[in-house]
C-alpha cells in the first residue's frame, strides 16, 4: 500500500495590536487556522503576543521568539551563523506541488521529526521580517497573504482565474526572491546575484505577458456581459464560506461546487433562476471576501466581481451561525465599497440559520430587521428567496409599448429576452408589443428597435 505523505504541520503566530480586543484577535487566529487547514496543513499551536506595532526586524519579542523557535527546532536568534537556508520563498512556490498526492516527496521530509515546518503569521510581513523569522525558527515562514495566494492557486480552475492567480502569486513572490546566504548556489557569488536579477526580470516579463492574455479574456467577458446587460440579474456576494454556492444551487439547480473550504469558488458562474421566469432572471455566484484581503488580489478579481457591479440586486450572504458574523458583514461591505458596488440595491441574507438558536435568531432579528433569515438547506427558504427576487424585479418594472417594424422581425427574440411580452398586435407600422420590464431595459430596447 502506498504511504501517504505526512501532513505538513504549522504553528500560527499572531500579534494583537492596539484597538483589537481579545475576542477579535482570537477570531482572526481561528480564521487563519481555517485558511491553513484549507491548505491541508495541520495546525499544532499558536504563539500570540500583544504589541504596539509590527515593526522593525522581528515580528515577535525576544522571549516569544525563543518560545517559537523551541517548538520549531530553530536557534531563536537571527545571526549569520543560524542554519543556512535556501531561498524559502522560491523553494516554497516551486515545490508547491510537493505535498500533493503523487507530488515530489523529498527524502528529508520523510524522515523529518514531527516539528512544525511552517510558521504562519496572521499579518502581512515584509520579506526581511520573513527572512529573519526563518533564520530564527528554521521553518518556512508564510504570512496571511501568502496563505491566501496559495489557496487561490490551488482552487483556480478557469483560464481566467489561473492567470489572475499567477499574476498575484508572482507579484507576491518577486520581492521575496533572494539568494541563499553563505553561497548555497552552485555558481559563484557574482553569478548568483545576476541570477536573482535574471529571475526578477523573467517575472517582470511574465507579468507583462499575463496581463496581455488576461486583457484578451476580459475583453471577451465584457462583451458577453454586455449582451446580458438588460437581463434581470442578481449576484450572490459575501464572506467566504457563507453559503453563496449553496444558495446558487438552491436557486438555480446548478451543480456548482459547495465545500467547507475557504475560497472554494474563484470563478463567477451565471445560471438561470429555476423554475424559469419571464423574462428569466440570471443568478451569479462570485468569489468570497475575507478580512485583510490583499489589495492586488482584490484588483485581480475585479473583473470577476464585475458581475456584482452590473447586477440589479445583490444578495449579500452572511454566515449567521458564525460568532464573527458582524465583522464578516463589515468586511464584505468594505470590499463592496472598494469595488464601487455599494450603490447597487442589496438584501441581507442571514444564512445557516438552522444552526442558530431561537434566542440567537431573535437577537439577529432585532439587529437586522430587514434581513432575511434562511438556510440554504431548506427548500422552503429557497422558494421564499425566489419569490423575494421576483417581487424585487416586479416592483422595479414598468409597462410600455414598443413598435417592432416589419423589416426588423429578427429582433423579436431580443425583446423577449429583456422584457415580459404582455400582448402583441399589428398595425401598419409594424408589430405593436406591450411589454413589462426594467425601465433601462425598455429604453435600450426602444433604441435598438429604432436604430439602423
- Residue 234 contacts ligand GTP per CB under 6 A: no
Pick one of 244, 271, 291, 420: the residue that binds ligand GTP (CB under 6 A): 244
| Own/partner long-range contacts of 146-149 (Cβ < 8 Å, ≥24 apart) | 146/172, 147/32, 147/35, 147/36, 147/39, 147/120, 148/35, 148/263, 148/290, 148/293, 148/294, 148/297, 149/294, 149/297
Pick one of 245, 268, 269, 346: the residue that binds Mg ion (CB under 5 A): 245
Q: Considering CB under 5 A, how many residues would be counted as binding Mg ion?
A: 3
Pick one of 242, 300, 304, 332: the residue that binds ligand GTP (CB under 6 A): 242
Please state, in angstroms and rounded to a whole number, the distance separating the CA atoms of residues 449 and 399: 17
Pick one of 172, 263, 316, 392: the residue that binds ligand GTP (CB under 6 A): 263
Contacts of 180 (CB under 8 A, 6+ apart): 84, 85, 86, 87, 192
Residue with smaller CB distance to ligand GTP, 137 or 246: 246
- Residue 161 contacts Mg ion per CB under 5 A: no
- Residue 376 contacts ligand GTP per CB under 6 A: yes
Please state, in angstroms and rounded to a whole number, the distance separating the CA atoms of residues 449 and 325: 48
- Residue 397 contacts Mg ion per CB under 5 A: no
**Cβ(288)–Cβ(259) under 8 Å?**
no
Stretch of 14-22, 43-51, 204-212, 261-269 contacting ligand GTP, by CB under 6 A: 261-269
Residue with smaller CB distance to Mg ion, 265 or 303: 265
CB atoms within 10 A of CB 73: 15
Pick one of 16, 265, 269, 312: the residue that binds Mg ion (CB under 5 A): 265
Residue with smaller CB distance to ligand GTP, 302 or 377: 377
Stretch of 59-67, 70-78, 260-268, 338-346 contacting ligand GTP, by CB under 6 A: 260-268
Task: Specify the DSSP element, H or E, that contains 428.
Answer: none
Judged by DSSP in three states, 113 sits in coil
Pick one of 264, 273, 311, 376: the residue that binds Mg ion (CB under 5 A): 264
Question: Least distance (Å) from Mg ion to the CB of residue 334?
Answer: 20
Please state, in angstroms and rounded to a whole number, the distance separating the CA atoms of residues 275 and 284: 16
Please state, in angstroms and rounded to a whole number, the distance separating the CA atoms of residues 357 and 359: 5
Residues 287-306 interacting with ligand GTP (rule: CB under 6 A): 288
Taken as a whole, the chain contains a residue count of 452
Residue with smaller CB distance to Mg ion, 231 or 265: 265
- Residue 259 contacts ligand GTP per CB under 6 A: yes
- The sign of the torsion formed by the CA atoms of 334, 336, 339, 344 equals negative
Residue with smaller CB distance to ligand GTP, 262 or 415: 262
Stretch of 41-49, 210-218, 257-265, 373-381 contacting Mg ion, by CB under 5 A: 257-265
- Residue 355 contacts ligand GTP per CB under 6 A: yes
- Residue 361 contacts ligand GTP per CB under 6 A: no
Q: How far from the centroid of its chain's Cα atoms is residue 300's Cα?
A: 10
Question: Least distance (Å) from Mg ion to the CB of residue 261?
Answer: 9
Q: Nearest residue to ligand GTP, using CB? A: 288
Contacts of 218 (CB under 8 A, 6+ apart): 160, 303
- Residue 283 contacts Mg ion per CB under 5 A: no
Task: Specify the DSSP element, H or E, that contains 56.
Answer: none
Give the up-direction half-sphere exposure of residue 193: CA atoms within 13 A in the CB hemisphere. Answer: 2
The three grid cell numbers given for residue 174, joined into one nine-digit string: 518577486
* Residue 242: contacted member of ligand GTP, Mg ion, none (CB under 5 to 8 Å, by partner type): ligand GTP
Q: Specify the residue for cell string 438547506.
A: 377
Pick one of 129, 137, 218, 245: the residue that binds ligand GTP (CB under 6 A): 245
Residues 14-73 interacting with ligand GTP (rule: CB under 6 A): none
Judged by DSSP in three states, 32 sits in helix
Residue with smaller CB distance to ligand GTP, 125 or 290: 290
The three grid cell numbers given for residue 122, joined into one nine-digit string: 496572521
The contact set with Mg ion (CB under 5 A) reads 245, 264-265
The contact set with ligand GTP (CB under 6 A) reads 240-246, 258-265, 288, 351-352, 354-355, 375-377
Amino acid at each position: 500500500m502506498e504511504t501517504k505523505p505526512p501532513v505538513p504541520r504549522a504553528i500560527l503566530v499572531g500579534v494583537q495590536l492596539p484597538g483589537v480586543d481579545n475576542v477579535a484577535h482570537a477570531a482572526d487566529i481561528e480564521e487563519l487556522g481555517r485558511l491553513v487547514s484549507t491548505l491541508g496543513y495541520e495546525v499544532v499551536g499558536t504563539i500570540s503576543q500583544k504589541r504596539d506595532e509590527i515593526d522593525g526586524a522581528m515580528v515577535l519579542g525576544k522571549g516569544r521568539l525563543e518560545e517559537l523557535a523551541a517548538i520549531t527546532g530553530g536557534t531563536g536568534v537571527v545571526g549569520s551563523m543560524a542554519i543556512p537556508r535556501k531561498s524559502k520563498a522560491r523553494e516554497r512556490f516551486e515545490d508547491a506541488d510537493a505535498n500533493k498526492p503523487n507530488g515530489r516527496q523529498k527524502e528529508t521530509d520523510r524522515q523529518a521529526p514531527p516539528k512544525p515546518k511552517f510558521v504562519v503569521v496572521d499579518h502581512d510581513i515584509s520579506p526581511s521580517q520573513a527572512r529573519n523569522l526563518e533564520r530564527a525558527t528554521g521553518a518556512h515562514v508564510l504570512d496571511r497573504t501568502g496563505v491566501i495566494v496559495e489557496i487561490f492557486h490551488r482552487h483556480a480552475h478557469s483560464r481566467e482565474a489561473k492567470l489572475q492567480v499567477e499574476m498575484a502569486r508572482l507579484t507576491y513572490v518577486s520581492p521575496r526572491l533572494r539568494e541563499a546566504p553563505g553561497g548555497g548556489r552552485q555558481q559563484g557569488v557574482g553569478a548568483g546575484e545576476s541570477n536573482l536579477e535574471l529571475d526578477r526580470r523573467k517575472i517582470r516579463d511574465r507579468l507583462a505577458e499575463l496581463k496581455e492574455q488576461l486583457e484578451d479574456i476580459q475583453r471577451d467577458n465584457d462583451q458577453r456581459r454586455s449582451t446580458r446587460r438588460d437581463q434581470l440579474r442578481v449576484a450572490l456576494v459575501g464572506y467566504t464560506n457563507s453559503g453563496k454556492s449553496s444558495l446558487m444551487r438552491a436557486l438555480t439547480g446548478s451543480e456548482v461546487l459547495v465545500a467547507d473550504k475557504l475560497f472554494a469558488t474563484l470563478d463567477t458562474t451565471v445560471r438561470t433562476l429555476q423554475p424559469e421566469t419571464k423574462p428569466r432572471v440570471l443568478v451569479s455566484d462570485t468569489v468570497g471576501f475575507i478580512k485583510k484581503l490583499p489589495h492586488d488580489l482584490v484588483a485581480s478579481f475585479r473583473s470577476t466581481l464585475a458581475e456584482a457591479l452590473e447586477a440589479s440586486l445583490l444578495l449579500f450572504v452572511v454566515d449567521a451561525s458564525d460568532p464573527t458574523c458582524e465583522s464578516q458583514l463589515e468586511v464584505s461591505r468594505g470590499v463592496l465599497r472598494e469595488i464601487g458596488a455599494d450603490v447597487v440595491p442589496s438584501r441581507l441574507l442571514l444564512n445557516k440559520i438552522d444552526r442558530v438558536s431561537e434566542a440567537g435568531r431573535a437577537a439577529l432579528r432585532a439587529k437586522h430587521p430587514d434581513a432575511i433569515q434562511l438556510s440554504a438547506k431548506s427548500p422552503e427558504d429557497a422558494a421564499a428567496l425566489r419569490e423575494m427576487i421576483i417581487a424585487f424585479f416586479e416592483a422595479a418594472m414598468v409597462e410600455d409599448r414598443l413598435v417592432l417594424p416589419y423589416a426588423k422581425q429578427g429582433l423579436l427574440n431580443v425583446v423577449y429576452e429583456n422584457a415580459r411580452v404582455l400582448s402583441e398586435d399589428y398595425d401598419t407600422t409594424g408589430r405593436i408589443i406591450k411589454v413589462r420590464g426594467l425601465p433601462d431595459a425598455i429604453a435600450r430596447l426602444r433604441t435598438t428597435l429604432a436604430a439602423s
